[in-house]
């Protein structure tokens, strides 16, 4: 498919496009439409566009299509999303010679304009979050025209342009999705642990049992020695998300932190409230909206009271769930408000700390200057935590990622 601008030849892209954010946002819109797009595919698209950038819309189409689509059944969806984003009637991409009148002065359609956020905006106008610089031109294409001959598009902030110190509860869904993509990149490097299983290798100690077993093939004569070494496995991770009423403003934000853990590193995820609920299948959904919809149906006691100690005890006593804690990094996202007795919390946290590799507690309220762990639940749990972080903003979450990936 070649997108035509109406002038008989492919349209040209306007100046001031942040290619990396363009491909990321376009890939996110494909995900919403049901096309599975990985972060590595977005990287390939950005790198390919940097090499093949010609300013032509049809070149951009083929670059994105070859980089992001890997199934012929997804082509129709890709074409629809591409048309919706880069359609010429929106004014986002225009051929400068289209509908040009010989009269002097700027004409509508000569410059790439963005949907206005003022009174003339439509409610369903999504805008383009990847624009960083305006396209400036005068009527005859020169750069020395007067101020009256210039037309500047109204800019919208990029989805990733939020202040890294802005609390998560002030970000919208689009910005949280962009944060999720950034976290997915940072979580690629993951610590490993040695497994009890051993594999044949050229180095390592001699495995006498395997050497004798191989000697049977040669009449009991040992002709070669079998050496083995321990295998390396990714360290497991278990995420515990407090979904009680006191954590309502941060629950959705922390879901975007936990989703890359569940999808890339197969983390086990549990919801904590008055009861314990395993939500791993829901968090592994490709779309964040699907995750939220399934959680709404599965977690009956969301935004209710808090019984952290009872929920932790249930996890530790469960025959299957407790096995996921062995050698794992446990991430607890909670403000520590608990209605259970502090003695029960202390016992549960002590046992949890002995069962796993490390415990990382993320409390968004700890970012406040006047914060002190004075609540009974938090003060009882704190001595059994290896890391205590706020995780209330993008910059603070980077500290959480560093703690998770520490060896």
Q: How many CB atoms lie within 10 A of CB 281?
A: 12
How do beta strands 358-362 and 387-389 pair? parallel
Handedness of CA 330, 331, 335, 338 (dihedral sign): negative
The pair of structure tokens assigned to 150 is: 């210039």
Element (H, E) at 344: helix 342-355
Handedness of CA 296, 299, 304, 306 (dihedral sign): negative
Report pTM. 0.56
Q: What is the pLDDT of residue 241?
A: 94
Q: How many angstroms separate the CA atoms of 217 and 219, rounded?
A: 6
Q: What is the pLDDT of residue 16?
A: 57
Contacts by 94-97, CB closer than 8 A, 24 or more apart: 94/5, 94/11, 95/5, 95/6, 95/7, 95/9, 95/11, 95/12, 96/12, 96/137, 96/141, 97/7
Q: What is the pLDDT of residue 163?
A: 61
Q: What is the pLDDT of residue 157?
A: 41
Domains of the chain from N-terminus onward: 19-161 (no CATH), 183-187+235-404 (3.40.50.410), 195-233 (no CATH)
One pLDDT digit (tens) per residue for the chain, 407 residues: 444 434 333 444 545 567 777 788 888 888 888 888 877 788 888 888 777 666 677 778 888 888 888 777 888 888 888 888 876 443 344 443 444 444 444 444 333 344 444 444 444 444 444 444 444 444 444 444 444 444 444 434 444 445 667 777 777 777 777 777 777 777 777 777 777 777 777 777 888 888 888 888 888 888 888 888 777 788 889 999 999 988 888 888 888 888 888 888 788 999 999 999 999 999 988 888 888 888 888 888 888 888 999 999 999 999 999 999 998 999 999 999 999 999 999 999 999 999 999 999 999 989 888 888 888 999 999 999 999 998 888 788 888 888 888 87
Q: What is the pLDDT of residue 301?
A: 82
Q: Are 206 and 226 in contact (CB under 8 A)?
A: yes
Question: Considering only CA atoms, which of 366, 291, 354 is closest in space to residue 325?
Answer: 354
Q: Are 191 and 405 in contact (CB under 8 A)?
A: yes
Helix axes 248-264, 288-298, angle to 10 degrees: 110
Q: Are 56 and 10 in contact (CB under 8 A)?
A: yes
Q: Name the CA radius of gyration of the chain, rounded.
A: 28
Token match 């969806």: residue?
A: 77
């Amino acid at each position: 498919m070649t997108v035509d601008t109406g002038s008989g030849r492919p349209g040209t892209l306007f100046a001031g496009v942040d290619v990396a954010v363009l491909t990321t946002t376009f890939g996110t819109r494909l995900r919403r439409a049901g096309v599975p797009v990985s972060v590595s595919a977005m990287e390939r698209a950005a790198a390919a566009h940097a090499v093949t950038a010609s300013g032509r819309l049809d070149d951009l189409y083929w670059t994105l299509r070859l980089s992001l689509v890997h199934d012929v059944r997804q082509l129709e969806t890709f074409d629809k999303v591409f048309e919706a984003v880069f359609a010429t009637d929106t004014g986002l991409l225009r051929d400068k010679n289209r509908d040009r009148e010989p009269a002097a002065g700027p004409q509508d359609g000569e410059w790439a304009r963005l949907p206005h956020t003022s009174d003339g905006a439509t409610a369903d106008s999504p805008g383009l979050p990847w624009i960083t610089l305006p396209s400036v031109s005068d009527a005859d294409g020169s750069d020395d025209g007067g101020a009256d001959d210039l037309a500047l598009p109204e800019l919208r902030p990029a989805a990733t342009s939020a202040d890294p110190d802005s609390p998560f509860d002030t970000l919208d869904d689009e910005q949280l999705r962009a944060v999720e993509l950034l976290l997915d990149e940072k979580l690629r490097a993951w610590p490993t642990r040695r497994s009890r299983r051993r594999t044949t290798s050229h180095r390592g100690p001699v495995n006498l049992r395997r050497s004798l077993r191989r000697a049977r093939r040669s009449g009991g004569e040992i002709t070669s020695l079998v050496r083995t070494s321990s295998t390396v496995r990714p360290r497991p991770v278990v995420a515990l998300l407090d979904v009680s009423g006191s954590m309502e403003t941060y629950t959705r934000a922390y879901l975007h932190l936990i989703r890359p853990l569940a999808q890339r590193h197969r983390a086990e995820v549990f919801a904590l409230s008055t009861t314990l609920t395993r939500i791993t299948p829901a968090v592994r959904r490709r779309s964040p909206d699907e995750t939220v919809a399934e959680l709404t149906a599965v977690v009956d006691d969301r935004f209710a009271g808090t019984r952290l100690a009872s929920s932790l005890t249930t996890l530790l006593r469960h025959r299957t769930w407790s096995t996921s804690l062995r050698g794992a990094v446990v991430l607890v996202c909670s403000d520590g408000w608990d209605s259970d007795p502090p003695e029960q919390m202390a016992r549960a946290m002590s046992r949890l700390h002995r069962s796993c590799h490390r415990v990382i507690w993320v409390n968004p309220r700890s970012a406040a200057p006047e914060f002190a762990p004075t609540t009974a639940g938090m003060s009882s749990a704190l001595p059994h935590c290896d890391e205590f972080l706020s995780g209330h903003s993008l910059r603070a979450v980077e500290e959480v990622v560093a703690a998770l990936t520490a060896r």
